[in-house]
């Protein structure tokens, strides 16, 4: 069976996984991008965005290893609507461009597999370049997870190996899946940042009572990587 995991999810020292007041200019909330300063210089990030070779090759090392590993063996993703974009309400064309929002990532998003987006508003599947197709799920967390697991198992059959489901976020979606008991393991990248406000990942959640315990802690170049698993 596929594992359900959170991987390379950045948090601040004070526990915030996003800043406040998300907007087009602040996709992860005010100061939210600071959480990912460990990730942006890595070779894995550069490759995701098509920058390779020479000055564009990116850094290698511990942070890069964890970044690259986070994309391995992923057969499907689940995202909240806020992770897909800052737009709210029914899906409608932008008055300026006349286009319906297609995500933050341009024509070739970094997922390269099926992505299930939680939303209250229906929308047909959105096929992008590079093998990414966004499916918009309106009937809740359990439905999205069932569809993602089926997609991951289908992909794994080609290699006779179970593929995993990655919960990409945001904070609210991870919290909901945690409290529902659906997440098997988490890799958190703690950045040396104090946000002071925003969306706190674990506020009011007792991870020990949910059966989690730390399994590995590794100091990277620009973040501390913490792996916790449900026993």
**pLDDT value at position 156?**
63
Backbone angles phi, psi at 155, to 5 degrees: -70, -35
Q: Quick one: which of 220, 169, 227 has its CA closest to 198? A: 169
CA-only gyration radius of the chain, Å: 17
C-alpha dihedral (79, 138, 130, 6), degrees to nearest 10: 20
How many C-beta atoms lie closer than 10 Å to residue 123's C-beta? 15
CATH topology of domain 4-16+27-88+108-230: Dihydrofolate Reductase, subunit A (3.40.430)
Digit-by-digit pLDDT tens for the chain (231 residues) are: 779 999 999 999 999 999 999 988 899 999 999 999 999 999 999 988 776 655 568 999 999 999 999 999 999 999 999 999 998 899 999 888 889 999 999 999 999 999 999 999 999 999 999 999 999 999 999 999 999 999 999 876 666 678 999 999 999 999 999 999 999 999 999 999 999 999 999 999 999 999 999 999 999 999 999 999 998
pTM for the structure as a whole? 0.94
The whole-angstrom distance between residue 162's C-alpha and the CA centroid of its chain comes to 20
Where in the chain are the domains? 4-16+27-88+108-230
**pLDDT value at position 136?**
98
**pLDDT value at position 176?**
98
Q: Residue 162 carries which DSSP code?
A: P
d(CA 177, CA 157): 26
Q: Quick one: which of 154, 206, 211 has its CA closest to 182? A: 211
d(CA 148, CA 40): 27
Q: Are strands 164-169 and 74-80 parallel, antiparallel or unpaired?
A: parallel
d(CA 216, CA 74): 21
Question: DSSP string spanning 63-131?
Answer: HHHHHHHTTTTEEEEEEEHHHH-S--SS----TTT------SSTTS-S--SEEEEE-SS----EE-GGG
Helical pair 141-157 and 171-179, crossing angle rounded to 10 deg: 90
According to DSSP, the residues that pair with 80 across neighbouring strands are 118
Cα→Cα distances 4→18, 137, 147, Å: 21, 18, 13
**pLDDT value at position 158?**
60
């Amino acid at each position: 069976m596929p594992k359900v995991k959170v991987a390379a999810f950045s948090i601040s020292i004070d526990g915030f996984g996003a800043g406040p007041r998300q907007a087009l200019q602040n996709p992860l909330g005010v100061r939210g991008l600071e959480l990912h300063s460990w990730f942006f210089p890595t070779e894995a990030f550069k490759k995701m965005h098509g920058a390779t070779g020479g000055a564009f090759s990116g850094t290698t090392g511990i942070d890069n290893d964890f970044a690259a590993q986070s994309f391995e063996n992923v057969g499907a993703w689940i995202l909240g609507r806020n992770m897909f974009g800052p737009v709210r309400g029914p899906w409608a064309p932008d008055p300026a461009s006349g286009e319906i929002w297609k995500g933050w990532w341009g024509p070739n998003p970094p997922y390269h597999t099926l992505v299930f987006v939680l939303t209250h508003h229906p929308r047909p599947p959105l096929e992008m370049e590079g093998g990414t197709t966004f499916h918009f799920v309106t009937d809740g967390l359990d439905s999205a997870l069932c569809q993602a697991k089926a997609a991951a198992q289908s992909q794994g059959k080609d290699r006779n190996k179970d593929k995993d489901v990655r919960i990409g976020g945001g904070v609210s979606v991870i919290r909901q899946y945690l409290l529902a008991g659906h997440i098997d393991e988490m890799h958190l990248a703690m950045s040396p940042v104090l946000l002071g406000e925003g969306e706190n990942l674990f506020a009011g959640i007792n991870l020990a009572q949910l059966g989690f315990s730390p399994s590995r802690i590794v100091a990277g170049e620009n973040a501390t990587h913490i792996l916790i698993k449900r026993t």
